[in-house]
Structure 1
Amino acid sequence: MSWHAYQWFLEQHPDNRPILVIDPPGCGRSTRLPGAMDADAQGAHIAAWLSEQQLGPVDLVGHSLGAVTGARLSAQHPELVASLTMVSPSPDARWPRMRQHVSALVRGVPAEAPRVIAQAAFDYVRANPLVLADFGRQAGRPADEVMDGVRTPVLVVRGTADLVSSHKWCADLADAAGGELLAVPDGAHGLPQQMPAELVRIVTEFTQTP
């Protein structure tokens, strides 16, 4: 939920292109938004920040809840997004309640690298409770609604051992936007922390494809 999820990804990424990693509103060191903090509101806020910084179009990468935020940002402001990579996107539409999403995270712990657990637990404890509450109100949102309006190239990445984001959910997201689905063997939900080098390779190949 904070930029720390990408710290190992950053260590593996070549320094031949600039990378911006942010704490979304209500997470890490970012303060909460004055109103809603669901995926649509977060996407609008980040888009406003990109515009203010005169950045874009960017290759956007979002993990877990951030993947859905990335989709809504791409739909709202296609001029700011060159491509969208959705890594372990959640919450899965099969979980109509946020506590089911959290329960799936707990069940998936044995497949995760220890550093994933430590980093994720720290982020969840530190996050503003309204973030999960507002995302929870959008739990069960179908894939075609999440991806409605997304016109940029889309890659959905899922680990085959992920108990949180199902194959069907990820395939539905990719299909809804005319995108691609890529499976990472033995990968769990925390791919940026668990398999950073593999994710760097995947993102680099996707974003550099003409």
Structure 2
Amino acid sequence: MPSATPLVSLCQQATFIKSASQVEQCPLDRGYEVAFAGRSNAGKSSALNTLTHARLARTSKTPGRTQLINFFALDEQRRLVDLPGYGYAKVPLALKEHWKEHLDAYLTGRDSLAGLVLVMDIRHPLSDFDRMMLEWSDVTGLPAHILLSKADKLAYGAAKNVLLKVQTIVRKEYGNRATVQLFSAPKRQGLEEAYGILESWLFAEEEPEDDQAPDLSEGED
């Protein structure tokens, strides 16, 4: 079980704020928020639900059901964001293009976005969608953290091998901008590490107060 921290307590109290089909409908751009992205059927909704101890994100046997940008409040200044999934979604091409347009607008114009959690099925890591998201985060300077979900579907040794391979590729192609871990929602594996990443982003240290600087005005003529 993860140790009790302010973030864990906040996650247990997470509440739905609103859904947005376009960036103009998003909540006020202030505070800190972390976005969760993943190819359809990667386990993104299950990961969100496990981390928040609640059924916030909608899970479905029909992949691609997240068709809006969904916002969940942890407190007045911190939010988690569930982004639309891509891949298997059986929706009209026009709707996919609508998602992409407004997702791009959200990712490039949201000042409060502090980090990106990218959920990948450990059996199918680094898809074209995954690489696109990693390249975007690398170019914009946004930190990314990869959850290799459904780790319980592989034997421990096999899962560790995939972890090492993905870590090697990510380090080579994206440097230290992205980190990687194993994760399993049903086994509650990897919660401690995931919470640590979220806490570092959502509780970023504030800049030192200006009044702490030495007063150089005294003694002047």
Q: Which has the higher strand share?
A: 2
Q: TM over 0.5: same fold?
A: no
Q: Which has the higher helix share?
A: 1
Instruction: State the TM bucket, normalised to the shorter chain.
Output: 0.3 to 0.5
- TM-score relative to the length of structure 1: 0.41
Higher gyration radius (CA): 2
